[in-house]
Amino acid sequence: MSHKYSVIVVGGGIVGTTAACALAQAGIDVALLDARNPEREWPAEPVDIRVSALTRAAQNILQSVGAWESMVQRGVGAYDQMHVWDADSAGVLHFDAADTEFSELGHIVENRVTVAALWDKLETLPSATIICPSRVADLQNNQQSISVLLADGQKIEADVLIAADGRDSALRQMAGIQTTGWEYKQDGLVATISSEKSHQFTAWQRFLPEGPLAFLPLKNGQCSIVWTLSHQTAQDYVALSDEDFLQRLEQASEGVLGKMLTVGPRGAFALRFQYAKHYTAERFVLIGDAAHAMHPLAGQGANAGLLDAAAIAELIIKAEQAGRPVGSHKLLRQYERWRKGDNLAMMSSMDVINKLYTKQNEGFRQLRGTGMSWVNHSAWVKNYFNRYAMGLRDDLPALAQG
């Protein structure tokens, strides 16, 4: 006999666990499955190389599902300014929280902090069940339910399945949903560094011909870097001695943070533009990187996924409260219409910016310089970009509105 839940969430990363918490908090019977248990404890140093810049909207969602306080206790770093400049033109953009109603523009948080806080919260919710470690071997959907056969032979059923199993989603394939996209032939090189000058709680980003270099300010005074490089250069830079790497980094940053002093372990992640052609199938829905993978230059992947999680949870909770079926085609299509356009607009703008800044022709150089100066001096346009980057747009799910 298989157990039947209202919802099964596959993938206990930032996005899937947020969806599970939101549903379980509303008393919905939800099972979360993941292939592995996340880390819950670690030494204070070194800072993990995987961090995310989380927007105000993301913070609101994490607060609403009861994870934010525990994230703050584990360590989050606020930043109140952002400085962007172009290596090849005079273009400069500066954003300041003082121009908004908030005291910060966002927070830099280690991914493991967010995941651990969400799992801690989920474990306290009576209507949540965690099945971990577990791997989905097969998926079957019919008009009454969707069932999942696990690799250990267990079978579980639900009214709807939410797949949040990341960019290479096995569940997406099992559901027969195709993707479109391309490899950027660029890697995001990530590491934690310390520098001579203070980061001043500012996120710094310099656009270089191979791709942007970002310094994300951490609470402990260090910075997490995300350096977009061609695949080969990234591999070469990962293999450099610390001394040689720091020298290249100092040059690439124009010495904005003074001398580069130390660097921790380095990792490089191949970057991809990828979107699922459909976000739904019968009793099945995609959220997070399983639905869309985007260039990290504006740090929006996890933020977009959190909006997906909040949107699908909101629709399911409303349906459940109104006594309507939670896995209906109508509900899932409503989710797809809500989130797909917003995600595609975000991904496409990241893509255009990446292309615009890696073009070396004189016309593009002038366009960038003039465009950035114009935005920087136009209060209204700047405010629009500021709010967009903070995730504060129209049509936000209720959980994101704070």
Ligand X SMILES: Cc1cc2nc3c(=O)[nH]c(=O)nc-3n(C[C@H](O)[C@H](O)[C@H](O)COP(=O)(O)OP(=O)(O)OC[C@H]3O[C@@H](n4cnc5c(N)ncnc54)[C@H](O)[C@@H]3O)c2cc1C
Measuring CA to CA, which residue among 239, 203, 23, 401 is closest to residue 248? 239
- Report CA-CA distances (Å) from 30 to 249, 276, 319, 358: 46, 24, 15, 45
In terms of phi and psi (left: phi > 0; alpha: psi -120 to 50; beta: otherwise), the region of 265 is beta
Report helix, strand or coil for 30: strand
Q: What is the closest distance, in whole angstroms, from the C-beta atom of residue 321 to ligand X in the complex?
A: 26
Q: Does 9 bind ligand X (CB under 6 A)?
A: no
Q: Does 64 bind ligand X (CB under 6 A)?
A: no
Residues with Cβ within 8 Å of residue 140, at least 6 apart in sequence: 146, 147, 149
Q: What is the closest distance, in whole angstroms, from the C-beta atom of residue 116 to ligand X in the complex?
A: 12
Eight-state DSSP code of residue 349: H
Tokens 């980094």 sit on residue = 249
| Run of H or E residues at 60 | helix 56-64
Cβ–Cβ < 8 Å for 278, 270: no
Q: Which stretch binds ligand X (CB under 6 A): 66-74, 120-128, 297-305, 364-372?
A: 297-305
CA distance 209 to 200: 26
358-397: contacts with ligand X (CB under 6 A): none
Q: Quick one: which of 211, 296, 327, 391 contacts ligand X (CB under 6 A)?
A: 296
Residues with Cβ within 8 Å of residue 359, at least 6 apart in sequence: none
Q: What is the closest distance, in whole angstroms, from the C-beta atom of residue 331 to ligand X in the complex?
A: 21
The first and second tokens of residue 72, run together, are: 């703050």
Q: What is the closest distance, in whole angstroms, from the C-beta atom of residue 373 to ligand X in the complex?
A: 26
Closer Cβ to ligand X, 162 or 260, answer by number = 162
Q: What is the closest distance, in whole angstroms, from the C-beta atom of residue 38 to ligand X in the complex?
A: 7
Measuring CA to CA, which residue among 5, 34, 55, 36 is closest to residue 310? 55
Closer Cβ to ligand X, 61 or 319, answer by number = 61
Q: Does 269 bind ligand X (CB under 6 A)?
A: yes
Cβ–Cβ < 8 Å for 244, 226: no
Q: What is the closest distance, in whole angstroms, from the C-beta atom of residue 213 to ligand X in the complex?
A: 12
Closer Cβ to ligand X, 34 or 320, answer by number = 34
Q: What is the closest distance, in whole angstroms, from the C-beta atom of residue 84 to ligand X in the complex?
A: 14
| Run of H or E residues at 3 | strand 3-10
Phi, psi (deg, nearest 5) at residue 226: -125, 110
Cβ–Cβ < 8 Å for 68, 59: yes
- Count of residues near ligand X by CB under 6 A: 33
Q: Quick one: which of 8, 161, 226, 286 contacts ligand X (CB under 6 A)?
A: 226
Q: What is the x/- site pattern for ligand X, positions 129-148, by CB under 6 A?
A: ------xx------------
Please report how many Cα atoms fall inside a 13 Å half-sphere around the Cα of residue 43, on the Cβ side.
Answer: 2
Q: Does 212 bind ligand X (CB under 6 A)?
A: no
Q: Does 205 bind ligand X (CB under 6 A)?
A: no
Q: What is the closest distance, in whole angstroms, from the C-beta atom of residue 131 to ligand X in the complex?
A: 9
Eight-state DSSP code of residue 297: G
Total number of residues shown for the chain: 402
CA distance 178 to 298: 26
Closer Cβ to ligand X, 288 or 397, answer by number = 288
Q: Does 15 bind ligand X (CB under 6 A)?
A: yes
Q: Does 288 bind ligand X (CB under 6 A)?
A: yes
Q: Does 149 bind ligand X (CB under 6 A)?
A: no
Closer Cβ to ligand X, 12 or 327, answer by number = 12
Q: Quick one: which of 5, 6, 8, 16 contacts ligand X (CB under 6 A)?
A: 16
Strands 260-263 and 179-195: antiparallel
Q: Which stretch binds ligand X (CB under 6 A): 139-147, 300-308, 319-327, 330-338?
A: 300-308
Q: Does 110 bind ligand X (CB under 6 A)?
A: no
Q: Does 289 bind ligand X (CB under 6 A)?
A: yes
Q: Does 12 bind ligand X (CB under 6 A)?
A: yes
165-194: contacts with ligand X (CB under 6 A): 165-166, 170, 188, 190
Binding site for ligand X (CB under 6 A): 10-16, 33-36, 52-53, 111, 135-136, 164-166, 170, 188, 190, 226, 269, 288-289, 296, 299-303, 305
